Amino acid sequence: MKYSRLTKEQFEELHQEFSTFLATQAIDKAEWDTIKREKPEVAEQELDVFSDLVWEGVLGRAEYLEHFSKNHIFLFQCFDTYIKSIVLKSLVPEINFLTKEGLQWFSDNLFTDTIEIKTGKKVFTQERNSSIFELIQQGSILSDGQLFKQIISIIES
């Protein structure tokens, strides 16, 4: 398995897609029930293959990621061979970006000397999707890139 297995909730959400996936392998509901009962290791393999296919699709389309922690906001824009980053750090230790008040403070103080802004660019050292998956495993979430675009447009102007 290249990534991680989807959760039970994710499989439930993708029930129709999973049924279609099984159908492409000529496995109907009755046969799937038999496989689960009599060959659980084969069923596990099918779940893993489907999970990897879903992850490949999601990661292949991923363009922006965000990761919020107490004193940092990490923003990423993913390209084919590299990733651009913006790291925002609160220099006021008691500020918590994981709260509504912390985000309001961030908004009010973005371009003051209480927030440090660094930008970077890193060439992928492993396969693109694996690199993005690693960021997700570390707590990043997919985003529409709105915050990244707003901040980069201000920094670059």
Q: Which H, E and C letters describe the chain, residue by residue?
A: CCCCCCCHHHHHHCHHHHHHHHHHCCCCHHHHHHHHHHCHHHHHHHHHHHHHHHHHHHHHHCCEEEEECCCEEEEEEECCCEEEEEEEEECCCCCCCCCHHHHHHHHHHCCCCCEEEEEEEEECCCCHHHHHHHHHHCCCEEECCHHHHHHHHHHHC
Largest CA distance in the chain: 64
Q: Is the pLDDT of residue 104 over 90?
A: yes
What integer pLDDT is reported at residue 144 of this predicted model?
96
CA-nearest of 87, 53, 51 to 69 is 87
Q: Is the pLDDT of residue 100 over 80?
A: yes
What integer pLDDT is reported at residue 51 of this predicted model?
96
Query: Which residues is 76 bridged to in the sheet?
Result: 65, 85
Q: Mean pLDDT, to the nearest integer, of 77-95?
A: 96
Distances (CA, A) of 65 to 40, 62, 111, 131, 145: 36, 8, 22, 12, 7
What integer pLDDT is reported at residue 60 of this predicted model?
95
Q: Is the pLDDT of residue 5 over 90?
A: yes
Q: Summarize pLDDT for 130-157 with one digit per residue, the tens.
A: 999 999 999 999 999 999 999 999 888 7
pLDDT band of residue 45 (cuts 50, 70, 90) is very high
Report percent pLDDT > 70 for the chain: 100
Q: Is the pLDDT of residue 50 over 90?
A: yes
Q: Summarize pLDDT for 7-32 with one digit per residue, the tens.
A: 999 999 999 999 999 999 899 999 99
Q: Is the pLDDT of residue 119 over 90?
A: yes
Model's pTM, two decimal places? 0.87
Report d(CA 76, CA 83) in Å as an integer.
7
